[in-house]
Amino acid sequence: MLIFSRAVISTVIREHFCQLNKYDSLKGGDWTSITAFIRKYPVLTYVALAFIISWGALIILAGPGGFPGTPESTVGLLPFAVLSIVAGPSIAGILVTGVVHGRAGLRGMRSRLERWRVSARWYALALLTAPILMTIILLALSLVSPAFLPGIVTSADTASLVMLGIFIAVAAGIFEELGWTGFATPELRKKYGVFTTGIIVGVVWAAWHLLFAYWFSGTVSGPLSLASYLLDPFLFLLPFRVIMVWVYDRTGSLLVAALMHGSLTASARILTPQAFAGVPLMTFDLAWTAVLWVTIAMIAMAGRGRFLRPELRELKT
The Cα–Cα gap between 9 and 258 comes to 12
- Give the separation between CA 52 and CA 208, rounded to whole angstroms: 10
Query: How far is it, in rounded angstroms, from Cα 247 to Cα 131?
Result: 17
- The answer to whether 200 and 242 have CB atoms below 8 angstroms apart is no
> Taking the mean position of all CA atoms in its chain, how far away is CA 24?
30
Q: Identity (one letter) of the amino acid at 136? A: I
pLDDT score of 28: 55
d(CA 146, CA 255) in angstroms, rounded, equals 37
Residues in the chain: 317
Angle at 63 between CA 58 and CA 64, to 5 degrees: 125
pLDDT value of position 14: 54
Q: What is the DSSP letter of 65?
A: T
| 3-class secondary-structure state, position 27 | coil
| pLDDT of res. 218 | 85
Neighbours of 229 (CB within 10 A): 26
pLDDT attached to residue 182 = 98
State the 10-residue block means of pLDDT for the chain, 317 residues long: 49 51 53 91 98 96 85 86 95 97 96 97 98 98 96 94 95 97 97 95 98 90 89 97 97 98 98 92 97 95 74 48
pTM (two decimals): 0.88
Which pLDDT value is given to residue 98?
A: 96
